[in-house]
Each structure stands twice: as structure tokens, then as C-alpha cells.
Copies of this chain bind each other. A is one copy, B any other.
Amino acid sequence: MALASMAADPIALPSLQLSAKYDSLHADSARTNATLQAACTWGNTPDGGMDRLTCNNDDKSVRDWFISETKKYGCHHRVDEMGNIFAIRPGQNNNLPPIGLGSHLDTQPTGGKYDGILGVICGMEVLQVLHANNVTTYAPVAVVNWTNEEGARFPPAMLCSGVWGGEFTAKYAQGRQDPEGNSLGAELKRIGYMGPTPCSFEANPLLAHFEVHIEQGPILDVAEKPVGIVRGVQSIRWCNVGITGREAHTGTTPMDRRCDALLGAAKMIVETNRIVTETEVAPRGGRATIAVINSLPQSINTIAGKVNLGLDIRAPADSDVALIEKQCIEGFEKICKQHGLEMSFDNFWVSPALNFDPTMVSCVKQSAAELGCDIEIVSGAGHDSVYTSRKVPTAMIFVRCKDGVSHHPAEFSREEDCAAGAETLLRAYLRYDDYIRRSHAKM
């Protein structure tokens, strides 16, 4: 799923010292990468990429493998009605919900080996470190494989973490269909992964949620840092812009007597770009893109009478997204006036800016600092952590990916960077577990 990452100014957060007893624990690079490759046994493609759509037979195989592997590290399993799998390793205080370490094993149809998969594998590496060192943490821990994060087979994206977080009902999500008309519910039953646990925070809570994910952007690659601290998620608005002009012959209609909807649309695309590159929102990380365009009647000798545009606006601050939208509307209205066009503007989706839990972010920050990494990033929406953050403290760790490329077979993160992601997750998670232990000791 798309991210809206950008470098952010660091903010001060409280120190969270790792217990001395945990200090010698480290992720194993070779093991992390071997587990990653094992997870790509099913659904890999000759070009080095992955094609593992939700609930296909490869997805069933990797789920079976995930359960059998995590059993080896002392886990029992809970599968909910959306197929989300919780591999739970008990702690000292099993009255507490587990701390979740989650991401997803499904991929885009022409995806890579890192988007989602790396996050689950880093969680599995944490389990292996704990198991190998006979560590019993304070709270239980659960590595979570969230179903259908990509939404590539069953739109929308992040569907099943969305059910858990209260965004969608299970009924709605189970009824989502692929292009052949198969429902997600039927397909979960077919592969044996419609579990008995209700899918919700209330019925099956976590205490917190950490997620490792590739950055899907170029910031870490440019900065030459293996991992980044995700401070939150950008604010996003999606809008449909409808432009109505007047169809007329390209040959017979003088240039000054036209109401050319496509010319108007073109000026709107240029204006949108100008707003986020030349006005006050530019240095504050405002972004706006028009990537969807439809024009009618698509005849080379008939001036376009109707054009629709899809507008994607992002910025770290909600106020900047609102400002960009306002500037777009004002600019577009001027263009319409100039060209005799009518406009409809529909802001059909809003995702407010999200700040991850300061304590958890601090755990990530201190763990990243041990690897010499201090870059803080504001991510776009589009991870399972967006929906977990509605219910529980959440934080994310980004791992560098080559050239920022993702959703493509060329998606690549170096072995040492994958290991750095696991190491940061391990130590951030242990810091947080210590923090929970200390909090309970005070009570």
C-alpha cells in the first residue's frame, strides 16, 4: 500500500533504558534473511518478485508454514474470522493482552519480497531470539499476519486490520469480492482460515502494535541509513474533480470560442503542481498529485466536453492538506471562469494526520540510535498500523529499500538492512515490554 513518507524534524521524547538482562540480545542477520527467503517459497515469480494474492493457494501454504514455524518458538495460535493469525508466545503476566508485532504476508500481483513480508519475518526473528535465549518477557507477545493488507484481490487495502480496528464490519469485509466474484469469506473458508475468534480489538485485544515495513520511498536510500523512525502518518485527502465544457469540432471551432474541458483539466494539473512546489506548503512537505484522468468523448477531432480528475493531497499537517485543497479549488475556479467550464469538486475520502504513540516512538528512536540512525519520517497512510493505532499504542520502523521502489519485482532491501529492521524491532519491543513491567510495578 502507498505511503506518504517524508523526512520530519526530530522531536524530543523521554528516555527508555533497556534492562541490562536484555542488552546482550540481538537479531541474527543470516537467520532473519533465511526466514525471509523461506517465506517467499510460495508465490515467487521468475523475475525475482512475488505474486501472492490473499487466500490463493500460495497464501494458504505460507500461512501453514507461519503457524508451524512459530509453534517451534513456543507459540500457540489464534485465527480470527477474517483470517488474521496471532502467533502468541506467553509472558510472565498472561492477564495482559500480547504486544503485537505485525504486518502482512500477502503481496501485489507484481510485487516484491519485502513489502509486508519483512515485517512478519522481523516479528518471527524476535520470537527466535527470545526462544533461543529462554527469555520470558513480561507481557505476552503476538506476531500477527494481517489478512489482505494490499487489497489487490479484495479491495480496499488494509481490510482485515481495518475490521479489527473498527473501520469495517466483518460482514462487509467477508463480502468483498475479487473480479471473478469469489468473496473473501468463501475463500477464507476454502483455504481453512476463517477462524472462530471474532475480529475486533474488544474480543481479541493487543496491548500495543509495532510494525516493520520497507519505506517505499527514497529518504533512507538517499540518506544512506538502514532504518528510520516513523513518527506518524501524513494527512491525506482524495478528491474527484469533474469538469464540463462543450463538445465541438476541433476543425470548425475558433480557438477563442471554445470551452475545452481537457485544456482546463491540463491547467488544473499544472496549477496543482505549482501549489505544492511554489507556495508556502512546499517547505512543509505538502504534496498533491493528479494521476487519474478520464476524458470524453475521446475523439481526436472533437474538443473534450467532459473530464474527470482524481486528486491526491498529502501533508504532515491536516491544516496544510486543507490549505492545498482550498488553493486548488480557488485556482480551478479561475481556470473554469477563463474557459467557460463548470466544475464539481468532491472530497470523497479524508485520512487525518496520525501521530504514533510517543512512548513507543521513543523506544524505536533509542533502538535505531544504537545503529546510528536518527532519521524521523512521516509516513503516508496505508499500513495495518494505521488501523491498530485507532485502538492501541502503535509505532513503525521503516527499512531502506533500493531507489524507493516497491510494488514491483525490483523491490529490494539489503540483507544487512533487513537485519537492522529486526534488530530495531527486537530492542524497541523489549524497551516497551520493560516499560510496561515498570508501569505495573508502580501500580
Q: Which residues of A contact B (CB under 8 A)?
A: 2-6, 215-218, 234, 236, 238, 247-257, 260, 262-263, 265-270, 273, 276-277, 282, 287, 289-295, 298-304, 310-312, 314, 379-382, 404-408
Contact = CB atoms under 8 A, between A and B. Distances in A.
B267 A291 contact: no
Given A217-B252, A292-B298, 9 more contacts: A2-B252, A3-B251, A218-B254, A250-B291, A250-B312, A251-B312, A255-B282, A256-B277, A293-B295
Contact of A252 (B216, B247, B269, B295): B216
A263 B270 contact: yes
Given A234-B251, A266-B266, A291 B304 contact: yes
Nearest to A398: B252
Contact of A406 (B249, B287, B380): B249
Contact of A314 (B250, B257, B266, B267): B250
Closest 7 CB pairs of A and B: A4-B251, A251-B380, A217-B252, A266-B269, A2-B301, A266-B266, A250-B289
A292 B269 CA distance: 16
A52 to B, nearest CB: 19
B2 A250 contact: yes
17 contacts: A3-B252, A6-B254, A217-B251, A217-B253, A236-B251, A249-B404, A250-B312, A251-B314, A251-B379, A255-B282, A257-B404, A262-B293, A266-B268, A266-B269, A291-B299, A291-B301, A300-B311
Contact of A262 (B6, B269, B287, B299): B269
Nearest to A286: B255
Contacts of A310: 300
Contacts of A256: 277
A169 B358 CA distance: 76
B249 A217 contact: yes
A293 B290 CA distance: 14
A298 B291 contact: yes
Contacts of A266: 265-270, 290
A246 to B, nearest CB: 9
A57 to B, nearest CB: 26
Nearest to A339: B273
Nearest to A157: B301
Nearest to A268: B266
Contact of A276 (B255, B270, B302, B405): B255
Contacts of A379: 251
A281 to B, nearest CB: 10
A225 to B, nearest CB: 16
Query: Which interface residue of A236, A252, A290, A407 has the most chain B CB atoms within 10 A?
Result: A252
A134 to B, nearest CB: 40
Contacts of A314: 250-251
Contacts of A4: 249-252
A248 B404 contact: yes
B300 A291 contact: yes
A218 B407 contact: no
B273 A270 contact: no
A290 B263 CA distance: 8
Nearest to A377: B252
A33 to B, nearest CB: 24
B292 A293 contact: no
B300 A404 contact: no
Contacts of A252: 2-5, 215-218, 380, 404, 406
B218 A251 contact: no
A210 B234 CA distance: 67
Nearest to A250: B289
